[in-house]
Amino acid sequence: MTNPVLLIHGGAWAIPDDLVEAHLNGVKNATAAGWRVLEKGGSALDAAEESVVVMENDEAFDAGRGSFLNRDGKVQLDALIMDGATLRAGGVGCVEHIANPICAARKVLSESPHVYFVAEGAERFAEEHGIPLCKNEDLIIPREVERLRAFQASAEAQKEDLFSSHTISHDTVGAVALDVNGNIAAATSTGGTLNKAPGRLGDSSLIGCGCYADNASAAASTTGWGEPIMKLVLAKWAADRVASGNLPQWVAAEAMNYLKDRVSGHGGIILLDTQGRVGIAHNTPRIAWALKTVKGFESGVVRS
């Protein structure tokens, strides 16, 4: 039997002081939900899903209800979950009527020969497999309506590079888990980037980019500016280096250096291998994270 491990992130960016407590509470609650699965002997896959569901339901994060709005004022959600034991994965992208896209992604993994569904096709698949659809308005909160209004006004006036700024929130959520049977899994969910073009996919739901898991290497979940992460297929890049014998913490730090040096990207990554060794790194001012093992719990918004 293997000692279980659960590692979570709730976004990497310049988290303001007045939002730190909400982020810490969010990752703490998510960890508690996932750990309940693991301590009962449940699978890493179930634990990762349960953890992400909690964060999708928490309006502090850019996932599920309360996510950033796209340029047209809608919520469009992406998610992926992957099983390290079988390499099976399920993802959904650009869904507008699913409150918990990670649950739809799990259905794709477990009940479809495919890996990925998008937009209306993803919603149809989800509904056919027992996941209720909701109105897009149900996912929108007043805070994000105002944020989009102010952002669009500022962007038009300043012509700033909107997507590369450390100050723009990247509250994508993710979890990696190791269960008592020695299997690992990863899950990532996001509402994407504020003011994104309708139909834009980021890294979070793309296999190997924002999420990856393989018992032969590691489970990984990333957060941050999606386009640079996609270009490097960063989650798979990191997992491969763990497979080559490098420690997850060293690999996580190197992944952030690679992201910055190669494509001027910023973000964060969490890594976990089947030996229970973890890695957490970010090249942003802060990252919301939490780690639970049989030895205890720790969390923070900076990881040195």
Provide DSSP, 77-89. Answer: EEEEEEETTT--E
pLDDT at 170: 65
Task: Please say whether the beta carbons of 279 and 286 come within 8 A.
Answer: no
Cα separation values, 179 from 3, 65, 99, 209, Å: 7, 29, 27, 23
Q: What does pTM read for this prediction?
A: 0.95
- Residue from 172, 188, 222, 274 carrying the catalytic annotation: 172
Q: Give every CB contact of residue 132 below 8 A, 6+ residues apart in sequence.
A: none
Q: Measure the N-to-C terminal CA separation of the chain; round to a whole number of Å.
A: 31
Q: Quick check: is 222 catalytic? A: no
Task: Give the range of the structural domain holding residue 77, as residue numbers without chain letter.
Answer: 5-300
Q: Per residue of the chain (304 residues), what is the pLDDT tens digit? A: 999 999 999 999 999 999 999 999 999 999 999 999 999 999 999 999 999 999 999 999 999 999 999 999 999 999 999 999 999 999 999 999 999 999 999 999 999 999 999 999 999 999 999 999 999 999 999 999 999 999 899 865 455 455 555 556 567 999 999 999 999 999 999 999 999 999 999 999 999 999 999 999 999 999 999 999 999 999 999 999 999 999 999 999 999 999 999 999 999 999 999 999 999 999 999 999 999 999 999 999 998 6
Q: Which pLDDT does position 169 carry in this prediction?
A: 59
Count of domains for the chain: 1
In the prediction, which pLDDT does 171 show?
A: 77
Q: Bin 79: left if φ > 0, else alpha if -120 < ψ < 50, else beta.
A: beta
Nearest-angstrom CA–CA distance, 34 and 50: 5
Position 284 scores a pLDDT of 94
Residue spans of alpha helices (H) in the chain: 17-39, 44-56, 101-111, 119-128, 142-158, 226-232, 234-243, 248-263
Q: What is the DSSP string of 106-168?
A: HHHHHH-S-SEEEHHHHHHHHHHTTPPP--GGGG--HHHHHHHHHHHHHHHHH---SSS-TTS
Give the separation between CA 250 and CA 248, rounded to whole angstroms. Answer: 5
The CATH number of the domain holding residue 38 is 3.60.20.30
pLDDT at 168: 60
Q: What is the pLDDT of residue 163?
A: 52
Residue 95: predicted pLDDT: 98
Partners of residue 176 on adjacent β-strands: 7, 186
